Structure 1
Amino acid sequence: MGSTITLHDLTKTYPNRQRAVRQLSLTVEDGEFLVLLGPSGCGKSTLLRMIAGLETISGGELHLDGKIANDLQPSERDIAMIFQSFALYPNMTTAQNIGFPLAVQKQDPGQVTAHVQSVAQTLGIDHLLNQIPGRLSGGERQRVAMGRAVVRRPSVFLMDEPLSSLDARLRARLRTEMLAVTRSTGATTIYVTHDQAEAMALGDRVAVMRDGVLQQVDTPRTLYALPANAFVASFVGTPRINLLHGTVYAPVDGVMALNLGAQKITLSYPLTHDHQMLRVVQGQPLLIGLRPEAIRIADKTHATASERAMTGVVEHTEFQGHEALLHLSLGGQQADVPAQLSDHIPHHQARTSAADVLRQLRRRISLFGRHPALPGATEPPAQSPTRKGIGELVIRDEPGARHRRGQHIPLLIDVRNLLVFNARGERISPDPTQVPQL
């Protein structure tokens, strides 16, 4: 069985006052496989080492099954850790490496041999029990490291990028085996990686970190569809989400539109919950997010009610084998993820904020009457595209399609799948199921 891990305002500050982890709160349920995802230096490995007891905790509390564990020694936490570097004893055989934790506990040698044999068979390395690490491949050494962790039957597995030194094909195979092994033990697992594809494939939930701050924790599906901010949106998904600068034009008695520079997207009525929220941010600088699957090349089929026409100019074609990626310019300006993002906002706060925004919207509409436009609703003029600051749009295409650089391509954009962020990178609309209708 696993353990429930609870982090409450966990903080790590080094003597030079560098803060690696900033008041992070999170609960990992018994038996859950949680992935910590983020770029190098975001604090995810430091957090893992704090849970293991290899780093001191500067502030906050760590609870294991409801008991505070800040000051427990690593050996008292019933935790097994798998490192990126394998950390095998070079002068020991595979059997001795796997059985080492049991030998240290002075268990019966016959039982140790039986346990080692059983684990080795599960991992497919029982034929390597007499080999030393120097004679094993990278994948085999990683299986030995897994076996050494599994043989103890701990309540918690902590894995610090255990597959990052392996080639892509072997990583894909081993992560499936690793998931099967941890599931069979019932242990709670926290897995650190900077590979979003690995995170999405493995995690029951994924916790995204940036600069020591937890940005969002959710299921892979929710993380992709409803990112809390532009950083999460851009970090999750291949190819990366398209982010463009834009503004909203929202007259009360007219058609709402998103201006992207040289082109604009009109939004159909009745407005979705997300689109209703855009009325109160008209005229403000926004980041418009478009996943590649929200855009398709216009063909002989008619556009659906939620699709809007635009035109892109081919800049580059990237052949991927099973598909091609078209890099297009719309004549807008590509947006970068803001350097600073606010901390993750709890769901109950998001619901309150949404209600406040809608009340403000009703009040403003009642003040200005039914027909006049809201303040700032003057439609901005279309801008001419310039080579400097051209916005890059990446879409999927058939691998056999041939498009020339400079070719104009008709596009259809599904407005239901727009993601809109403010200038700070925060998603303007919370989960649409939590926003009351006007």
Structure 2
Amino acid sequence: MGSTITLHNVAKTYPGGQPALRRVSLTVAAGEFLVLLGPSGCGKSTLLRMIAGLETITEGELHLDGTLANDLDPSERDTAMIFQSFALYPNMTAAANIAFPLAVQKQDPALVSQRVESAAHALGIGHLMNRLPGRLSGGERQRVAMGRATVRRPSVFLLDEPLSSLDARLRTRLRLEILSTVRKSGATTIYVTHDQSEAMALGDRVAVLRDGILQQVDTPRILYTLPANAFVASFVGTPRISLIHGTVHAPIDGAMAISLGAQQLSLPMPLSRDHQMLRVMQGSPLLIGLRPEAVRIAEHTRATSFERPLTGIVEHVEFQGHETLLHLTVGGRPADVPDQTVPGPPSRPARGSAADLARRLAQRAAGLSPWQRRPSEPHHPPATAVPTGPRGELVVRAGNGGFPQRGRHLPLLIDVRGLFVFDARGERVSPDPTRIPDL
């Protein structure tokens, strides 16, 4: 049975004052498969090594099944770690490598043989037991490493990018084998990766890290449909979400619209709850996010009541076999994800500010008192100003029915229900940040 892992305000600072992790709080339920996702250098491997006992904890507390584990030796934590480099003993056969943890514990030889045989059979490497690691392929060595980790039946598996050195086809096959193996064991699993597709395919939940700061922890579906901020929205999803600078126009006697530079998207009346809260953002710099499924080519089709027209100019055609992706300019300015600053304690925005009015409007619509927060509402760190760019870009899935030439003008329909709106710091404004997901 797996162990519950609890991190409370855990931080890691290296000599010289360089922070690797900043006050990370996280609970992993017994038997859960949690993925730590983020770009290189964000602190995910450091966090894994702190749980394993291979890195000291500078601040905060780590609990394993309720027991404070900050100062426990790695051997006392009942964890098994699998590395990217496999870390097999080159002078031992595959069988001896798998048996090594049990041999160190001086287990009964008959029990050791039985467990090694069982692990090898489960991983499909029974015919490789007499080979040295040098005579094994990358995928076979990774299976041996997995067998060595599972043979002593730990309560926690820690996997540090175990598939990143393998080719794409083998990664897809092995990740399913890893998932099956740890599910059968019942162990709690934390899996580190920078591959969002891998994270979304494997995780019960995914924890997204950026520069040592935890951005969001949710199921893959909620991460995709309700990202906490522009960084999460851009990091999760293929093709990547399009971010464009925009502003809201809300005339008293006319329809509200979102300007994307040279073109505007009028919002259907009556306004949805998510669009109502955009009124108080009028004139503020915003980031407008659109995923490819919210955009379609409008030739020979009629718009629904939730779709609004735009015109795009083809800049690049990307053929991917099963589909074609069109990169289109719409006359706006593309936006990068804002830089991140270190979060401080939660504070109220200035009374009467746009952020204050937006929050009050959303809470009033939800039936909350002005400063009441839902228990599930996270605090998201602020970010610095948004860099500018020359033009806007959308990505559209075009199927394989045709290949428009570069420079061609295409009529588009935008489903405004799929709009993501972020403020200049990258925090999500719409969909409603106070919404409790029903996904």
TM over 0.5, shorter chain: yes
Identity of aligned residues (%): 71
Three-state SS of the structure 2 residue aligned to 1:411 is strand
**In 1, distance between residues paired with 2:159 and 2:67?**
22
1:154 aligns with 2:154: yes
1:213 aligns with 2:213: yes
Given the superposition, is the C-alpha separation of residues 162 and 353 from structure 1 closer, same or farther in structure 2, using an over 3 Å criterion? farther
1:59-88 deviation digits (Å, cap 9, x = unpaired):
000000111100000000000000000000
**In 1, distance between residues paired with 2:132 and 2:200?**
34
> Does the aligned pair in 2 maintain the 1:214–1:344 contact within 8 Å?
no
Three-state SS of the structure 2 residue aligned to 1:288 is strand
Indicate the residue corresponding to 2:384 in structure 1.
none
Cα deviation, residue 353, structure 1: 8.9
1:111-136 deviation digits (Å, cap 9, x = unpaired):
10010000000000001011110000
**In 2, distance between residues paired with 1:334 and 1:244?**
4
> Does the aligned pair in 2 maintain the 1:142–1:162 contact within 8 Å?
yes
> Does the aligned pair in 1 maintain the 2:278–2:358 contact within 8 Å?
no
Matched pairs, number: 405
The one-letter code matched in structure 1 to 2:18 is Q
1:356 aligns with 2:360: yes
Cα deviation, residue 394, structure 1: 1.1
Indicate the residue corresponding to 2:270 in structure 1.
270
**In 2, distance between residues paired with 1:20 and 1:244?**
31
**In 2, distance between residues paired with 1:208 and 1:358?**
26
Given the superposition, is the C-alpha separation of residues 353 and 181 from structure 1 closer, same or farther in structure 2, using an over 3 Å criterion? farther
1:416 aligns with 2:417: yes
**In 1, distance between residues paired with 2:391 and 2:316?**
13
Three-state SS of the structure 2 residue aligned to 1:41 is coil
**In 2, distance between residues paired with 1:343 and 1:202?**
29
Provide TM-score, normalisation by structure 1. 0.89
> Does the aligned pair in 2 maintain the 1:62–1:70 contact within 8 Å?
yes
> Does the aligned pair in 2 maintain the 1:215–1:344 contact within 8 Å?
no
Indicate the residue corresponding to 2:392 in structure 1.
391
> Does the aligned pair in 2 maintain the 1:341–1:424 contact within 8 Å?
no
> Does the aligned pair in 1 maintain the 2:46–2:55 contact within 8 Å?
yes
Indicate the residue corresponding to 2:13 in structure 1.
13
The one-letter code matched in structure 2 to 1:403 is P
> Does the aligned pair in 1 maintain the 2:294–2:418 contact within 8 Å?
yes
Cα deviation, residue 342, structure 1: 6.3
Indicate the residue corresponding to 1:185 in structure 2.
185
Cα deviation, residue 395, structure 1: 1.0
**In 2, distance between residues paired with 1:353 and 1:54?**
47
**In 2, distance between residues paired with 1:204 and 1:228?**
18
Cα deviation, residue 434, structure 1: 4.5
> Does the aligned pair in 1 maintain the 2:52–2:77 contact within 8 Å?
yes
> Does the aligned pair in 1 maintain the 2:280–2:357 contact within 8 Å?
no
Indicate the residue corresponding to 1:377 in structure 2.
none
**In 1, distance between residues paired with 2:331 and 2:67?**
57
The one-letter code matched in structure 1 to 2:178 is M
**In 1, distance between residues paired with 2:342 and 2:250?**
27
**In 2, distance between residues paired with 1:176 and 1:273?**
40
Indicate the residue corresponding to 2:339 in structure 1.
339
Q: Let me know the Cα RMSD of the aligned residues.
A: 1.9
Cα deviation, residue 355, structure 1: 5.1
**In 1, distance between residues paired with 2:54 and 2:423?**
39
Superposition pairs of residues 26-45 of structure 1, within 5 angstroms:
26-45=26-45
Cα deviation, residue 357, structure 1: 4.0
> Does the aligned pair in 2 maintain the 1:11–1:22 contact within 8 Å?
yes
**In 2, distance between residues paired with 1:249 and 1:57?**
49
Cα deviation, residue 224, structure 1: 0.4
Indicate the residue corresponding to 1:93 in structure 2.
93
> Does the aligned pair in 2 maintain the 1:84–1:160 contact within 8 Å?
yes
**In 2, distance between residues paired with 1:242 and 1:147?**
42
Superposition pairs of residues 47-126 of structure 1, within 5 angstroms:
47-126=47-126
Cα deviation, residue 16, structure 1: 1.1
Flag structure 1 segments of 5+ consecutive residues without an equivalent.
362-387
> Does the aligned pair in 2 maintain the 1:228–1:344 contact within 8 Å?
no
Indicate the residue corresponding to 1:196 in structure 2.
196
Given the superposition, is the C-alpha separation of residues 271 and 341 from structure 1 closer, same or farther in structure 2, using an over 3 Å criterion? farther
**In 1, distance between residues paired with 2:209 and 2:399?**
35
Given the superposition, is the C-alpha separation of residues 396 and 432 from structure 1 closer, same or farther in structure 2, using an over 3 Å criterion? farther
**In 2, distance between residues paired with 1:431 and 1:415?**
17
> Does the aligned pair in 2 maintain the 1:214–1:343 contact within 8 Å?
no
Three-state SS of the structure 1 residue aligned to 2:421 is strand
> Does the aligned pair in 1 maintain the 2:22–2:213 contact within 8 Å?
yes
Cα deviation, residue 354, structure 1: 6.3
The one-letter code matched in structure 2 to 1:223 is L
The one-letter code matched in structure 2 to 1:413 is I
Cα deviation, residue 417, structure 1: 0.5
The one-letter code matched in structure 2 to 1:287 is L
Given the superposition, is the C-alpha separation of residues 344 and 93 from structure 1 closer, same or farther in structure 2, using an over 3 Å criterion? farther
**In 2, distance between residues paired with 1:345 and 1:421?**
21
Given the superposition, is the C-alpha separation of residues 104 and 64 from structure 1 closer, same or farther in structure 2, using an over 3 Å criterion? same
**In 1, distance between residues paired with 2:314 and 2:132?**
55
Cα deviation, residue 402, structure 1: 1.9
Given the superposition, is the C-alpha separation of residues 188 and 236 from structure 1 closer, same or farther in structure 2, using an over 3 Å criterion? same
Given the superposition, is the C-alpha separation of residues 85 and 421 from structure 1 closer, same or farther in structure 2, using an over 3 Å criterion? same
> Does the aligned pair in 2 maintain the 1:273–1:432 contact within 8 Å?
no
**In 1, distance between residues paired with 2:168 and 2:139?**
11
1:105-157 deviation digits (Å, cap 9, x = unpaired):
00011110010000000000001011110000000000000000000100000
Three-state SS of the structure 1 residue aligned to 2:191 is strand
> Does the aligned pair in 2 maintain the 1:332–1:391 contact within 8 Å?
yes
The one-letter code matched in structure 2 to 1:356 is R
**In 1, distance between residues paired with 2:228 and 2:13?**
26
> Does the aligned pair in 1 maintain the 2:363–2:434 contact within 8 Å?
no
Flag structure 2 segments of 5+ consecutive residues without an equivalent.
350-355, 366-388
